[in-house]
Amino acid sequence: MTLTQLERNDWGPPPYDSFLVTECHRLRHVPLRDFTVENLRILIGQHISLEYTVPLALEHLARDPMVSGDMYPGDLLKAVQGIDDDFWAQNPSLKSVWQKIRSD
């Protein structure tokens, strides 16, 4: 399943030509099972579809907190650290996984 399918919301073509906007629109059509660490870093960094991307990111971070996308070691960790407290409050089971990763 893709984010577009899960959310039943096709964003259509990107409204303008920038790498980040184009990539976020493209990733909405990629099956979640095919997401790379870099894909997750980008989407989470833009606060896109967190209910689907964060669980995948936490799986990677549980194995290796310093896992990296294309930027630097720990870049996925940094993206997840930027998630608003409201998300964690609405997702207590994910919050407990995140707290465990942070305490290890």
Domain assignment of residue 95, given as a range:
3-103
Q: Is a pLDDT exceeding 90 seen at residue 104?
A: no
> Into how many domains does the chain fold?
1
Dihedral angle at the C-alpha atoms of 96, 91, 51, 33, nearest 10 degrees? 30
Rounded to whole angstroms, the Cα distance separating 43 from 20 reads: 9
Q: Which amino acid is at 13?
A: P
pLDDT digits (tens, 9 = 90+) for 25-77: 999 999 999 999 999 999 999 999 999 999 999 999 999 999 999 999 999 99
pLDDT digits (tens, 9 = 90+) for 67-84: 999 999 999 999 999 999
| pTM value surpassing 0.85 | yes
